[in-house]
Amino acid sequence: MTPTFQPGQATVYNSVQDIAQLTRALRKTARPVVLVPTMGALHAGHISLVKAAQRIPGAVVIVSIFVNPLQFAEGEDLDAYPRTLEADVEKLRAAGADAVFAPSPREMYPNGPRTVIHPGQVGTILEGKTRPTHFAGVLTVVNKLFHITNCSHAIFGEKDYQQLIVIQQMVTDLNLDVQVIGAPIVRENDGLALSSRNTYLSETERELALTLSAALTSGAYMAGQGPDAVVAAARAVIDSVPEIELDYLELAGPQLGDVDPEGANRLLVAARVGATRLIDNIGIDFGSEEVTGEPRA
């Protein structure tokens, strides 16, 4: 039996047919359907995306919770990834989300993962260099979610900055009628970017993880000295903590191409703290004295 839709009560739908039927009906009322895609294990960063969605006038907010196997390579943490659906739904109900789409892998891929979307060149750098199949998995599931939920808007956090860029690229290149909105990174008071993977960190590892936001801050404060000084300052902080296993530290333009020495850019980092791989980033504008996306409370 299809659940009765109750606005603001985070009604849970498990089938593609049911959520599609609901959202088609909602779109016919001319209300925007705003999708917040997640893999669950929700924290304050996810709830901030729900709040951003609710600021769109008349929005019906749909939160998807799906640990997408297609974006995990062999040896990654698919099986260990936290699954806390009941607690997640309670948080979404408290936040006033309208509906939750929580399908099974079989529901999403009834014929297996046969057709995938290639992310192009931007999907081969940074995260894509370390995880070469990752963004094809991301784009495939996001494209499916866009169509299944009939959404007019979708909200993504800037912490996964490269993901945001490849999704925006997909929407443009495939002429999808969805407005993609990036929302700012949410941090703990000490600067640590919120992530579901933070739960893997021991107390000691969590202290070490602060090195990433400290490095980004140090780099950002050197913006007045130019790109080389930004990267050097950030790298010096990371190099001072031998327990941090750096994957990459890169300065790139806003679309992850060449650095703009007179405009907006992004400084991105990925590293392992113990067995946990974390990512973070900060906006840096060489045309302004202001630090963008500063990792502080």
Cα angle value 68/194/62 (rounded, 5°): 50
State the DSSP H helix or E strand holding residue 83, giving kind and residue range, or none if neither. none
Is 186 annotated as ligand-binding?
Answer: yes
> For the segment 174-196, what is each residue's pLDDT rounded down to a tens digit?
999 999 999 999 999 999 999 99
11-183: CATH, from 3.30.70.1150, 3.90.420.10, 3.40.50.620, 3.40.640.10: 3.40.50.620
> Mind listing the pLDDT tens digit for each residue in 116-138?
999 999 999 999 999 999 999 99
The answer to whether the annotation marks 159 as part of a ligand binding site is yes
Q: What pLDDT band is residue 106 in, cutting at 50, 70 and 90?
A: very high
Q: What confidence score (pLDDT) does residue 74 get? A: 82
297 falls in which pLDDT band (50, 70, 90)? very low
- What percent of the chain is predicted at pLDDT more than 90? 91
Residue 148 has pLDDT above 60, yes or no: yes
Averaged pLDDT, 238-246: 98
Mean pLDDT of the chain: 95
* Confidence at 296, pLDDT banded by 50, 70, 90: very low
Q: What does the pLDDT average to over 29-54?
A: 97
- Is the pLDDT at 295 greater than 90? The verdict is no
Range 65-96 burial, b when 16+ CB lie within 10 A, else e: bbbbebbbeeeeeeeebbeeeeebbebbbebe
Query: 53-77: per-residue pLDDT in tens?
Result: 999 999 999 999 999 999 998 878 8
**180 annotated to bind ligand:** no
Domain boundaries for CATH 3.40.50.620 within the chain: 11-183
Which residue spans of the chain are classified as CATH 3.30.1300.10?
A: 196-285
Tokens encoding 51: 């709040």
144 appears as a binding residue in the annotation: no
Is 160 annotated as ligand-binding? yes
Give me the pLDDT at residue 288, please. Answer: 75
Predicted TM-score (pTM) of the model is: 0.94
* Residue 79 annotated as lining a ligand binding site: no
Q: Band of the pLDDT at 81, cuts 50, 70, 90?
A: confident
Burial class (CB in 10 A: 0-12, 13-18, 19+), 280: buried
**Residue 281 — pLDDT band, cuts 50, 70, 90?**
very high
The whole-number average pLDDT for the span 219-242 is 97
Q: Which of 260, 168, 297 is nearest to 283 (CA)?
A: 260
Catalytic residues: 46
Q: Which fold has domain 196-285?
A: Pantoate--beta-alanine Ligase; Chain: A,domain 2 (3.30.1300)
